[in-house]
Amino acid sequence: MAKPLRLSVLDQSPIVDGGSGPESLANTLDLAALCDALGYTRYWLAEHHGIVSLACTSPEVLIAAVGAVARRIRIGSGGIMLPHYSPLKVAELFSTLAGLYPGRIDLGLGRAPGSDQTTAVALQRDRRQHPPDDFVDQLAELLAYLEDRVPAEHPFARLSRLPGLPHAPEVWLLGSSSQSGEWAAQFGLPYAFADFIGGGGSVIAQHYRDTFVASDRLAAPRTVVAVRVICADTDEEALRLGASQQVQLVQLQQGRPMPALPPDRAVKLLQESGVRLGAAPMGRRLLTGSPATVKDALEKLAADFGAEEVMVLTITYDHGARRRSYELLARAFALPAPAAAAAG
């Protein structure tokens, strides 16, 4: 019998029109507590910088905060943009988190800047030149720290005793390109494909599985696909709620990122622009519908990717609608809820 599909959460801490960063951060903690109670497998916090519509600049801080309000769910980064950081510093941060929350911390790593190029430069300590493209070397160094296998002759060997040992995070490689899949296969790491960023992922996921090199980290390939989803009581209501995301994607395509608008205002803007309600700007998939509709779509998506798990990214104008979306999905998939849902 096939194992039931696992569901997880990707949270970008969205800021809505008229809202604030502190409100969005509070909503993140509220949603994390809810999804912990509903039976979701993991809760990942994204990293983005300089974006008016997102408050997720510091996933490592949010992971610690989520750990204090969610007692069971795995918590992680979706992801840490490694080129911005020292591998040692990332190892120390996530070793500390693993020591605080043993067996529950995921370290999802990405190569993209999570921002525009100007912001990426502002994040660098040395701004005289762009940092080198040495992600593979960074990844190898980071894994050596986390796995406590820095060679004794290495110049940084004495720095490698991390505070959380023997506990360590589970490392994932994230991406939306063939290169990320190849590195995940090469290093024997689990792979999470960001379908909400780009297409073609099923082919990339298949190549990852075909070329996967078994390691002490992972004996067989493991794939997660992350996708935008809005679930409501009816297909029509989900489509209406999804208009807020559609307008955001249209504006992003035009280089004008903006907070999520109220659904009725967003619907009106789409109509005035001649954009069909439910269309996918920039080719970015947005699954909307009733629980039955979305469940069917997610099962097909997981089958296409050969994925054992789907990570759901939901952005709505109203936080209550976002909570409701995750509640309906949990019920549709009969997630093994460990406790009654947190009060909203």
Domain extent listing, the chain: 6-226+291-332
Q: What confidence score (pLDDT) does residue 342 get?
A: 45
Q: CATH number of the domain at 6-226+291-332, please?
A: 3.20.20.30
Confidence of residue 344 (pLDDT cuts 50, 70, 90): very low
Q: What confidence score (pLDDT) does residue 253 get?
A: 79
- Average pLDDT on 121-133 reads 73
Q: What confidence score (pLDDT) does residue 114 get?
A: 53
Q: What is the mean pLDDT of the chain?
A: 91
- Average pLDDT on 247-271 reads 90
- Average pLDDT on 314-324 reads 98
Name the more confident of 232 and 284.
Answer: 232
Q: What confidence score (pLDDT) does residue 339 get?
A: 53
- Average pLDDT on 296-313 reads 97
Lowest mean pLDDT among 14-28, 231-245, 265-279, 303-317: 265-279
Q: What confidence score (pLDDT) does residue 182 get?
A: 96
Lowest mean pLDDT among 105-119, 200-214, 218-232: 105-119
pLDDT for 30 beyond 70: yes
Q: What confidence score (pLDDT) does residue 280 get?
A: 76
pLDDT for 120 beyond 80: no
Lowest mean pLDDT among 99-108, 307-316, 333-342: 333-342
- Average pLDDT on 260-284 reads 88
- Average pLDDT on 260-282 reads 89
Name the more confident of 128 and 287.
Answer: 287
- Average pLDDT on 135-154 reads 92
- One-letter amino acid identity for 11? D
Q: What confidence score (pLDDT) does residue 115 get?
A: 59
Q: What confidence score (pLDDT) does residue 1 get?
A: 52
Q: What confidence score (pLDDT) does residue 21 get?
A: 96
Name the more confident of 5 and 279.
Answer: 5
Name the more confident of 167 and 126.
Answer: 167
- Average pLDDT on 222-239 reads 97
Confidence of residue 341 (pLDDT cuts 50, 70, 90): very low
- Average pLDDT on 118-137 reads 76
Q: What confidence score (pLDDT) does residue 51 get?
A: 87
Q: What confidence score (pLDDT) does residue 113 get?
A: 62
Q: What confidence score (pLDDT) does residue 43 get?
A: 98
